[in-house]
Amino acid sequence: MKETLSTLSALAKEAIQNCTTEAEIEEIRVKYLGKKGELTAILKQMGSLSPEERPKMGQLVNEAKQELEELISVKRGELKNAATELKLKAETIDITMPAKEVKPGKLHPLNTVLDDMINIFQSMGFDVVDGPEIETDHYNFECLNVPADHPARDMQDTFYLAENLLLRTQTSAAQIRTMETRKPPIRVICPGRVFRADEVDATHSPVFHQIEGLVVDKGITMCDLKGILEEFAHEIYGSDTKVKFRPSFFPFTEPSVEVDVTCSECGGKGCRVCKGGGWIEILGAGMVHPNVLRSCGIDPEEYSGFAFGIGLDRLTTTRYKISDIRLLFENDKRFLDQF
Ligand code: PHE
């Protein structure tokens, strides 16, 4: 029995020495010291020994057990450390590596210009309102003094969705919605997308952007219109910019004007941007037609107002010297990254 014991413990020691993983060491512990282990089995045979031999043998087995337990715990510690070491090595971060470039999103040039315009008008006391892109004939034409057979309908080629439903051709529809829901004094701008069945080319797109402005109050005159729009043009293009009001026609304003500013590229001398003329048209405007006020339940004898519609795309392309309006809609990252 003594011999078996020493062979067993020698075998166990060797196994402990050679093992390389924590799982293996656990296997060894079970094999020799577990409930059904080989050393435990010796203790169970003690019954066959004489009463004098029993305590001696018992002591030997216990000593061997203790020794093995200690070896196992030491080896286990070693293996654990080695494993941690290995893991740390694998996870080392090389702080000398170049960092990944972070590319934050930025505003589309149209939004940058729009934000500037909103700031300018808000500083003059205007509210920003919103209107639907899908409009009814009623809001887009009828209430704006453009009845069904009016020739002015040909000025704007319309995308119809159904008999009475269309993609708004102008943000002017928001004038009506505002006058229906607010009482004068009214001072609002409504920026948004508008749609016309235009062929696509460098200066035309079937989708573009307008900012409609509307002021209604007692005693509003053409002077207020000129003052506000001149101020706006100076804020956007600089105070040296000259502003010209040309007579024009819109069915919903009377009188109507178109507003030109001196070309910011050449200062009015004439260049490629202004096609040699020295002036760039930036908006249409006029005194709100009495019929329009009336259709919204506002008495034109008591109140008057002016409205204007600014083309955001034109403003953006001239500000950034963008030669083709299509660039604003194509979402080419190489283009957008320049802003
Ligand atoms: N809605 C007109 C257009 O799209 C612009 C405009 C707005 C003119 C308001 C006068 C007053 O051409």
Using CA atoms, how far apart are residues 285 and 214, in angstroms rounded to an integer? 10
Give which of 252, 250, 258, 251 is closest to 288, Cα–Cα.
252
Q: pTM for this one?
A: 0.70
Kindly report, residue by residue over 89-115, the tens digit of the pLDDT: 888 888 888 888 888 888 999 999 999
State the distance from the centre of ligand 1 to the C-alpha of 234, rounded, in angstroms: 20
What residue has token string 């500083």? 123
Give the pair of three-digit tokens for residue 109.
């040039």
Give bridge partners of residue 192 from the DSSP assignment. Answer: 210
Could you tell me if 279 and 188 are in contact, meaning their C-beta atoms sit under 8 angstroms apart?
A: no
Using CA atoms, how far apart are residues 264 and 287, in angstroms rounded to an integer? 28
Atom in ligand 1 nearest the alpha carbon of residue 194: 4
pLDDT tier for residue 237 given thresholds of 50, 70 and 90: confident
Using CA atoms, how far apart are residues 274 and 281, in angstroms rounded to an integer? 9
Task: Answer yes or no: is the C-beta of 145 below 6 A from any ligand 1 atom.
Answer: no
- Mean pLDDT to the nearest integer, 49-70: 86
Closest-CA residue, ligand 1 atom 12, reads 284
State the distance from the centre of ligand 1 to the C-alpha of 181, rounded, in angstroms: 21
Atom in ligand 1 nearest the alpha carbon of residue 213: 9
Closest-CA residue, ligand 1 atom 6, reads 309
Kindly report, residue by residue over 14-48, the tens digit of the pLDDT: 888 888 888 888 898 888 888 888 878 887 888 88
Could you tell me if 136 and 165 are in contact, meaning their C-beta atoms sit under 8 angstroms apart?
A: yes
pLDDT tier for residue 132 given thresholds of 50, 70 and 90: very high
pLDDT tier for residue 155 given thresholds of 50, 70 and 90: low
Task: Answer yes or no: is the C-beta of 306 below 6 A from any ligand 1 atom.
Answer: no
Using CA atoms, how far apart are residues 25 and 15, in angstroms rounded to an integer? 8
Quote the CATH superfamily of domain 109-336.
Bira Bifunctional Protein; Domain 2 (3.30.930.10)
What is the amino acid identity at position 226?
Answer: K
Closest-CA residue, ligand 1 atom 5, reads 309
Atom in ligand 1 nearest the alpha carbon of residue 175: 9
Using CA atoms, how far apart are residues 213 and 182, in angstroms rounded to an integer? 14
Kindly report, residue by residue over 169-198, the tens digit of the pLDDT: 999 988 899 999 999 999 999 999 999 988
Q: Is 169 exposed, middle or buried (0-12, 13-18, 19+ CB in 10 A)?
A: buried
Q: Can you give the pLDDT at residue 152? A: 67
Give which of 264, 230, 266, 267 is closest to 245, Cα–Cα.
230
What is the amino acid identity at position 176?
Answer: I
